[in-house]
């Protein structure tokens, strides 16, 4: 599968349909496959943190979750077909799993959130099995790993926020008895109904970040990563022209 290097991060050149098919294949393969979902903020952070960058680049698939990533690839002369949002990919995977009765384990968020998300997922994706849940407030990795493995899950959604979730998956991958693990950020809060996704208009026009900023002004400091990412990509693009 072709990769596009954006500030040192190798992003898969896939659209949503291709990413979904690849994830479905991973669910049928032996061993643990990993999928990470970096947006421009995460790529910027990874570009400045070698250890984390190496973790991201070890994934079996890295999708462009963020319109800034798509624009960045275009500026660098290696356009990506479209944004592949982590939440949307998770939905496609769950939809596919519901047809075959596969099992998902939800890890992360505040106490009670994963349970509510599990209930809503079960109602929306008839046929899927919830293998288990655990909140993100834990200190004993082994206890959580035992819970996941005992649940006999196929798909593990790790929603601990970056960089913790990717590092946790990478650290414990060899101990997990699942087929596919994805770093899914705030997906559980969305599935639980605690956080609303941006309306279609914002998503279609690549300004979902603006909707989030209006709803959560406290995100302003985090949003400063967007122009910094853009400037860094432009500078790199000019260097290689």
At 153-166, the pLDDT tens digits run 999 999 999 999 99
Min mean pLDDT across 54-58, 99-103, 156-160, 228-232 is at: 228-232
CA distances from 167 to 36, 54, 58 (A): 11, 10, 11
Measured distance CA(231)–CA(39) in Å, rounded: 15
CA distances from 132 to 18, 22, 91, 114, 218 (A): 28, 24, 18, 9, 33
User: Which band of pLDDT confidence, cut at 50, 70 and 90, is reported for residue 13?
Assistant: very high
pTM, to two decimals = 0.89
State mean pLDDT over 195-200: 70
Measured distance CA(159)–CA(109) in Å, rounded: 6
Q: Scanning the structure block, which residue is given the tokens 């990563």?
A: 225
b (16+ CB within 10 A) / e for 174-197: eebebbbbbbbbbbbbbbbeeeee
């Amino acid at each position: 599968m072709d990769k596009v290097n954006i500030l040192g991060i190798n992003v898969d050149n896939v659209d949503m349909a291709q990413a979904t098919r690849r994830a479905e294949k991973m669910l049928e393969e032996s061993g643990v496959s990993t999928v990470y979902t970096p947006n421009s903020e995460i790529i910027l952070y990874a570009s400045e943190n070698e250890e984390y960058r190496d973790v991201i680049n070890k994934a079996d698939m890295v999708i462009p979750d963020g319109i800034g990533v798509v624009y960045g690839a275009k500026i660098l002369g290696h356009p990506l077909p479209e944004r592949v949002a982590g939440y949307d990919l998770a939905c496609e995977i769950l939809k596919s799993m519901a047809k075959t009765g596969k099992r998902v384990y939800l890890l992360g968020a505040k106490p009670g959130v994963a349970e509510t998300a599990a209930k809503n997922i079960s109602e929306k994706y008839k046929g899927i099995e919830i293998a288990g849940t655990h909140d993100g407030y834990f200190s004993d990795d082994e206890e959580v790993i035992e819970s996941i493995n005992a649940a006999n899950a196929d798909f593990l959604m790790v929603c601990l926020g970056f960089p913790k979730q990717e590092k946790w998956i990478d650290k414990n991958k060899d101990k997990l008895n699942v087929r596919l693990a994805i770093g899914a950020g705030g997906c559980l809060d969305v599935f639980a109904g605690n956080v609303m996704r941006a309306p279609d208009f914002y998503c279609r026009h690549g300004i979902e970040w603006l909707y989030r900023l209006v709803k959560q002004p406290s995100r302003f400091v985090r949003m400063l990563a967007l122009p910094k990412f853009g400037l860094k990509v432009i500078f790199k693009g000019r260097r290689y022209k």
